[in-house]
Amino acid sequence: MSGRTPSPTPSSTPMLRRTLVWASALCGAILVVGGVLGAIFAGTPGLWGAVIGTVIGLVFMALTATSILFANRFAGGASFAGVFFGVVLGGWLVKFIVFLIIANLLRDASWLNHLTLFVCIIASVLASLVVDVLVVMSSRMPYVSDIELPGDR
């Protein structure tokens, strides 16, 4: 065995993984319902609007959670705070720029129902928020976690 102790896994990691699983499942349900309703009321453009809108919501939600999970790999290091906030804020900046690019590209798309796209984006974002709240509320996390007291060494 080497003399190194493995870096501790932050207590938020299981919670973020549960968030990814539940939000993905809920976005799958939104995709099915939105796709069926979009196809019924707006035809093929409605179906495409539901698919693209739900995928945008799911990908953006997943980018946030995966960036935090990736940044958590540096826990225990001397520069953890800088790396963590750099990765998370960089991910948010990338999402903002990508969203503006996608919105600009889809602005004049005639093959797409924009109302269905908008409703599915909003539904997937709200679903992600609900999942986040429910997972955090049901997690059994102490008020103070991931600390090392002087006598613990």
Q: Which residue has the higher pLDDT, 131 or 145?
A: 131
Q: Do residues 63 and 91 make contact, with C-beta atoms less than 8 angstroms apart?
A: yes
In the structure encoding, which two tokens stand for residue 141, read together?
């996390």
Output the pLDDT for position 46. 97
Q: Rounded to two decimals, what is the model's pTM?
A: 0.81
Query: pLDDT band for position 5 (50/70/90)?
Result: low
Instruction: Please list, in sequence order, all residues whose beta carbon lies within 8 angstroms of the beta carbon of residue 27, skipping any fewer than 6 positions away.
Output: 54, 57, 58, 61, 124, 127, 128
| pLDDT tens digits along 25-84 | 999 999 999 999 999 999 999 999 999 999 999 999 999 889 988 988 887 777 888 888
| pLDDT tens digits along 86-130 | 999 999 999 999 999 999 999 999 999 999 999 999 999 999 999
Decide if pLDDT at 6 tops 70. Answer: no
Which residue, chain included where needed, has tokens 């319902």? 33
In the structure encoding, which two tokens stand for residue 6, read together?
């493995």
Mean pLDDT confidence for 12-16: 85
Ramachandran class of 2: left when φ > 0, alpha when ψ lies in -120 to 50, beta otherwise:
beta
